Structure 1
Amino acid sequence: MALAEIVRFQDVYEADLAAAFLADRGIDVDVTERFQTTVDPLMQRALGLRLMAPSDQVEAARDLLARAARGEFADDQNDDDLPAADPTTRTVGRGLALILAATGAFWGNSLPRRLRPVHWIGVVLILAIGGVSIIAALAA
């Protein structure tokens, strides 16, 4: 049985999501060029990823994808129904991100040689600000 192209995607995640959607609805689908695009992500833009299906299922697959793009398969749940993020968690996460950003780029055995005294002052200030923000978030 000959395979024909259903659609072409530029992103491997979109292609996999569409393939899972079509497979759930009984369409035999295959994502091509997955190996090349995951080994070298720049190839995603150059090659694209094709969804392939047997020739007799191509029109049904295109129809399903068009209906999904129009939102026909969306449910009634709104994003407003989802629980809000805890502000304490967000503040602690920002503090940890500051600490990792300050030290992560220079981690390793060359840390003392790469940082001059001015850099060390900046690292200490960032660590202090991050620590204060974490303590303030935990105290609130």
Structure 2
Amino acid sequence: MKLLFTILLFISHLTLFAQADKVAGDYALTMNTKEGNVLEYKLTLSADGTFFFHHYSNILKGIPPEKNYYGKGKWTVENNLVSFVSDKQTDLDEKHTLDFSNSKARFHTKSAKDKTDRIVKTRLQFLNSEIFWMKRIELLKV
């Protein structure tokens, strides 16, 4: 019985690691307006469970026109739902000011069961965040 339990536990851990490897990588979104304004979002999810985020905006009539925002912390995935946490003591400083705690994003990819020719871009869609401008943002895997 102990052997069976150990085997089941081992298999469940392999499944979790395989899912994390699938999600890990670089994600980005760039938006340009007709007026020449630029918004860029870049997120790196490392296989070790850490993340780094950079947001760049160049709003021509903004004061100042160019702004950079950074965030970092840890991430986990369960059932295609990625959860983010930023430790106020170690992750937040003068440069890294974005607190991603309580942020959640859905991981979307083409299902292995889908045998059609349709193209489904791998992406992260933020569902909830205390950073108000991150809600509903979709970042595509690069």
- TM-score calculated relative to the size of structure 2: 0.19
- TM-score calculated relative to the size of structure 1: 0.19
Bigger relative contact order, structure 1 or 2 (CA pairs below 8 A, ≥6 apart): 1
Structure showing greater Rg: 1
- Name whichever structure is richer in helix by fraction: 1
